[in-house]
Amino acid sequence: MDVFYDLDYQGAPAPSVVQELGDAPVADDVVIPFADLDEIAGRLDALRGQDYRRKAVTDIQQHARGRDGTGVGKLLRVEAGPLRVFHAPTGMGKNVLSELVAVWCAQHGRVISLVVPQSAQVLATVYRLEQDLADLEISAQVTPVVSPASMQELAEQTASNPQDDEDFRTWVYREMSYSCPLTGHATTSSEAVDAWTPGQEPCDQLKPNGGKADKALACPWRGGCGKFRHHRAAATADILVTNHANFLTGHIHAPVAGRPAPGLRMTTEQLLLHRSHLVIIDEADALQAQAFDRAARQVLLAQDGAEHTPVRDLDSQFRRHCHRLPMSLEQHLRPLINHLMWLAESYVSHLVGGVIQPDRERRNMVVPRRWDAMFASRIFHLEAGERPTAQQMQAVNQLYKREGPLEFADEIEGLAELRELLSSVTDLAGGLDRLTHATLQRIAEAFAGITGETGDKRLSSLALLAARRAYLEEMASILHRIVGVAAPLQGAGISAGNSLVDALASHVPWRAAPYGPLGRALFAFSETFDPADRHQTALRLKSYVGDPHTHLAYLGEVTALAHTGTRRAVIGMSATAFMPYAPRHHLLPEPAWYVPDDVNGSLTVELQAGQDDGAGIVVSGTEGTNRQRAYTAMGRSVGKDLPAQLDTVAADPATAHRAYALLAPTAYNAGPALARGMIDAGVAASEICVAVRPQEMAALERMPPGWVPIPSNRLEQFPHAVGHGRCRYLIAPMARVERGLNIVDRDGRSLLHVACLVNRPIPVMEDPPVLLSLVNSLAYRRRRPGSNPAGELERLRIAAGQIFDDIRSGQGYFKTLGEDVKLAIVAEILTRLIQLGGRTRRGGDHGRLRLLDAAFTHTAADSTLPALLGQLRGKWQAEGHMPLIDAVYHTTMTDALLGLAEHSPTGYANEIEDEDEELGEW
């Protein structure tokens, strides 16, 4: 739909004030007296008739220890520089402390930034802080810093939630909603269509009609528009609050002048570091994990029989909206998009037809440029172990370029002919696809003439790799050229290319350490091929770019110095930030302060597999209908055991408040299957609450499923505000419930008797964030600090490349992974178990976590969870980590988790005959 605006604007231009940041404040440290925090907490508690704030301050001061194990004393001293990790268990009052520190900073003329996980938490934090400052009569401004594109949606979602406090809903709508003056001047190309889509306004992408259509203009009301009021206020606010995603990749959408003068493109991270004396990051390890999600991406290029792929959608949108682009850009993009679509779909067609044969059936990941060294070795007759020279590698690259010089063409007979074949194999000349068995034979003959090799199989393999390299690298080249003009495409309403941009531009925004141990941006292609189902055949692009470990560890030092010219005091808070070997969540700095994990309630972890006719139920490793059957069987098993346990809990007045259970699988589609099994076992459907995606609620309300659906962004309504208060069981994906979910009563006590992990949370090794985090983590564990940093970086680059190759060339089964990779996965699982178990411990109650999947033990003896925990404990002891782990986690780790290593569960076998069949591929 095209929208036309009649902007015969006669008035004075709306003011567009450039916000002056001034010099970044210098603070070598921030020293906060606990007595001041206690005084603030006491006043607020007295005003509200509460006591939890003073309790949080008292508990943290009493139990917190410094790195040397001594108490923190009377002062919390936060030095500027590397990240200072504050490690404390769930329910200890970390967020309460953060907000009290924010009030203290406002009281003492210090600017502070709070970084919380979600936008909803931003709103709740700002609301509470505004009330606190008003009650204490402190004159200070609190500003939420979120993406302007999501403001109106946040306002409407919160206002429509009847379970939220009415005053809060009114405040959020007033604070986050806005109107667009452009709509009063709009006509559309389609009748009865609203011209305003909140968040998608063409604020600086208006195109004038006529001869000057190449130039984009900004809305005349932009300078004073309510959509950007928070970003303008951020230049002067005393307390800034943002979320993880916006901190990592967001920008300030208002003119700001500062160091360096970035115009409209100052990042949220840069602004917060420039303005703040202190930055506090809640769930800092989750921020690091999310940074890996942003740094490593994948995008579907083609799939057999698919009508919609990002590339096809880009072509469709381009044909509809290309008239909005300058003619020169339209002419530049049209052949690129057409060629990209043909290359991707032709490659998939050749996979299906057998012209291209993947190295491994089902799934295969390739890095085409890594074949170049092998090509050079064969062409130039190098000895085993001899590395090609830069000139020889350049010659291999030139084989795929029709024009330009070709090194060694005069010295090596047949090199020019080979170049002619490889540089033209991706052409669609005369309507003919050149990648045929005949072409591959000619390429093999050309290689034979150069290398002197014989043997059809060896040469055919070489020719196929060379042809695949031609196709894949040509696609990568085209994608980079398209991404280079992403901004005008988005301005023209062509948004289908956004996923392509995300995959290829994941190194944006600027990072002090952009590449990490790999030393460069690495792009790979994933080929999926299933001979039993051709429509599963697909080609994806994967990118591996970034170094979240060092970015977060040195945020207050290297990044702050680059952005502001001075160091910053940065605190990272979490309950699981110190977990050596965990690739995504372990932070490089050791805790500066910690509260032992069991001071506010202990945790019991039980290996209790679900039973089906006396056999343990294996979920992890099953696929398709077999997995659905396993989920249903698990539901029946739970439905037989849990009701009686909850009845017992409900009968005791001391525990009656927590007669509820949480079941956490790893996927949404597990919920209905688990519910069916529970209903089969006799549990009333009205007692079962199943989390669903918010967009699915409308359909489920039209056709009720029997069990009670709940949108996954409103899980805290369980149990009293959903299903008429009759629900006793909540089924929700682990990723949605393991952090930040507070199912508590008015006194802050957990309502959950037990949290049950339904299936073993093994990561998908092909998932780019998983692989990048493993490679970076394993490489950094091999670092050798010394006097030659350049040499060490080169050594790390080679080591990281070898780790990458070792992992991606594995067979895809857990048992085939190397020991370091297995232990890294187990350490990562431990962080998730502690977080999930924390949902049952809030308020100081004893927590209970149950592991239901027989796959935890129903596998090869050296890959069971008890065996791997024993190996991990041995590694930690050998490398000197255990004393600090013992101090930080105390009995939660030594007894509840590592204690599982001493106990082999009963009721099912520890080994099965065919592990590959049971575990499947990841």
Res 415 pLDDT > 90: yes
For position 418, what pLDDT does the model report? Answer: 94
List of residues 6+ apart from 72 with CB closer than 8 A: 34, 61, 64, 65, 66, 593
* pLDDT for position 714: 87
Strand bridging mode 847-851 / 752-757: parallel
809 pLDDT more than 70: yes
Quick one: tokens of 404?
Answer: 């330009």
Q: What confidence tens digit (pLDDT) does each residue in 575-620 have? A: 999 999 999 999 999 999 999 998 877 889 999 999 999 899 999 8
Measured CA to CA, the distance from residue 422 to residue 396 in angstroms comes to 11
| pLDDT score of 262 more than 60 | no
DSSP 8-state symbol, 323? G
Q: Which of 71-85, 175-189, 372-386, 475-489 has the highest mean pLDDT?
A: 71-85
Q: How far apart are CA 94 and CA 86, in angstroms?
A: 9
Average pLDDT in the chain: 88
As a whole number, mean pLDDT of residues 160-164 equals 75
Identify the pLDDT of residue 381. Answer: 92
> Quick check: 908 pLDDT over 50?
no
Structure tokens, 727? 């629900």
Q: What is the pLDDT of residues 699-751, one digit of tens each?
A: 998 999 999 999 998 898 899 888 888 999 999 999 999 988 889 888 888 99
Q: Where are the beta strands (DSSP E) in 311-434?
A: 362-366
Q: pLDDT-based confidence at 506, cuts 50/70/90?
A: low
Q: Which of 115, 219, 190, 878 is nearest to 570 (CA)?
A: 115
CB half-sphere exposure, 177, CA atoms < 13 A: 12
3-state secondary structure 546-589: CCHHHHHHCHHHHHHHHHHCCCCEEEEEECCCCCCCCCCCCCCC
Q: What is the mean pLDDT of residues 879-892?
A: 93
Among 239-243, 305-309, 522-526, 725-729, the range of highest mean pLDDT: 239-243
What's the confidence (pLDDT) of residue 846?
A: 87
The DSSP code for 895 is: I
DSSP assignment string, 60-106: HHHH-EETTS-B-TTEEEEESSS-EEEE--TTS-HHHHHHHHHHHHH
Give this prediction's pTM: 0.90
Q: What is the pLDDT of residue 915?
A: 39
Task: Decide if pLDDT at 68 tops 80.
Answer: yes
Which amino acid would we find at residue 700?
L
* Angle formed at CA 613 by CA 612 and CA 615, multiple of 5 degrees: 65
223 vs 544: which has the higher pLDDT: 544
pLDDT at 422: 93
φ, ψ of residue 853 in degrees (nearest 5): -75, 120
Q: How confident is the model at residue 914 (pLDDT cuts 50, 70, 90)?
A: very low
Start-to-end CA distance of the chain, whole Å, equals 42
CA distances from 95 to 53, 116, 282, 597 (A): 10, 9, 7, 16
pLDDT at position 909, please? 41
What is the CB neighbour count within 10 angstroms for residue 798?
Answer: 12
Q: Measure the CA–CA gap between 119 and 132, rounded to whole angstroms.
A: 20
Q: 323 pLDDT exceeds 70?
A: yes
Q: Are 639 and 681 in contact (CB under 8 A)?
A: yes
- Among the ranges given (182-186, 342-346, 494-498, 663-667), the one the predictor scored with the smallest mean pLDDT: 182-186
Residue 497's pLDDT is 77
Q: pLDDT by residue (tens digit) across 46-57?
A: 999 999 999 999
Rg of the chain in Å (alpha carbons)? 30
Among residues 715, 709, 686, 707, which one has the least CA distance to residue 696?
A: 709
Q: What is the 3-state secondary structure (H, E, C) of 153-173?
A: HHHHHHHCCCCCCHHHHHHHH
- Which runs of consecutive H residues, i.e. helices, occur in 108-250? 119-135, 151-159, 166-176, 229-233, 244-249
